[in-house]
Structure 1
Amino acid sequence: MMNFLSLGEDGWGRLILSATLTTLLLSMVALMVGAVVGGVVASAKLSPRAPARWFGSAYSVVFRGIPELLIIYLFYFGGSGLVSLIGQMFGADGFIEMPPFLIGALAIGLISASYQAEVYRAARLALSPGEVEAAQAIGMPRWRILQRVMLPQIFRYALPGLSNVWQMSLKDSALVSVTGIVELMRASQIAAGSTRDYFLFYLIGGGGYLLLTLLSNRAFIKAETRLNRAWQRRTVAQA
């Protein structure tokens, strides 16, 4: 067993560690993509304009209703096909393959955005209307209200929900193995297929996901605790 997991040329430890870092990086990029798109979708769903609300609702229905694996397939193969078609218009030959990491992060990020949008929408609705009205009453511009009043509280209310979305994105990263990118799931498959020791390497893969989940859970709990303490100190100081 130790020979299998060594970091040398004859072991699989280096591949497993590299794949674990790829999984973590992929999930982080997807979470950031989801944060940007999810914020836009949440704003659309809260808009007084009906077309914007329709767009936000349609986005949520599509990306929460279609299986994640199918979305990854559509983005990877469909995106490569579209780029190849455009390339042929400009004289390029053959099939142009899209970067698997980019496609995987984008697909998982857009899926994550449909869930993050609901988290941000609920956090916005949890804000006290009186605070925004008070800021408007003293003549604070809209961008300053957003910066100093709304965003800090929205982030505070949204943090517990974002923890759940992060766990979902972390597990969804395993689906990106179908594009050929060597993340933790794909590395486990390669090692298991090469050694025929399926139980060992799939157990190691599961342990890797579990370790990332436990560490990230602890990080979110610490961030939430620190944020709540800072908010309590601010409230006491204002009182």
Structure 2
Amino acid sequence: MYRLLAVLAVWPTLATADWAPRPSMFSYDATFDLCTADPTAPDLAARCSEILAAAYVLKRAVARAATKCFPESLSTCTSPFEDEGLPAIAAQIAVDVGCDATDLRTLPEDDPLPANHCITIASDIMIDEGVVPLDSNLACGPFQAECFEFTELHMLLWAWEADMTTSDGIRTSDFMIALKEACTEDFLDVERLTGQPLSYNCFADGAARHWADLAQQNQQDQ
């Protein structure tokens, strides 16, 4: 695992200028379970990207609303949620169960919010209810940091899942190293011209396929 992380950590990234909710601020464990439910499903990475994006834009909307409410209690602050197209009652339920209302802007930006944070609980409630925020756009224009960070998170999830699925961590790490080199060679120059995370998408697709092969092999060996 650590060897794999060391390899992927040096991938080029874009920096964000102003504070805003970011993909890395949230956990996607439950959502990613949907991505790995069927290793035989077609277009695993593309389908998973859509699933994760839907979860992210919802969490982002909740975070925006909660940040606008602070320091007012989410139990009484409704307008920012309504402005995002969200049911304020979900935040009120989160408060009722004793959620942590710490201001998001004071927490580490690269660590997912705690499971007991109001934003986390309210988001989970809304995801279960199928809520879609008014702003469901994930900015993927040229050189959009949000898009690059989201795509990087997506590819890392597949890499970690593959690493956890195999008993031969070194072999999987070697596969990921070769995959990264191939994706970088094939797409990095075009990526720099277009501003699109093409090498990231390439890696996510390859890692998802590798995970699917490992998962199916494990099923056959049982």
- For the superposition of Structure 1 and Structure 2, which TM-score range results when normalised by the shorter chain? 0.3 to 0.5
Larger % of helix: which? 1
TM-score calculated relative to the size of structure 1 = 0.31
TM-score calculated relative to the size of structure 2 = 0.32
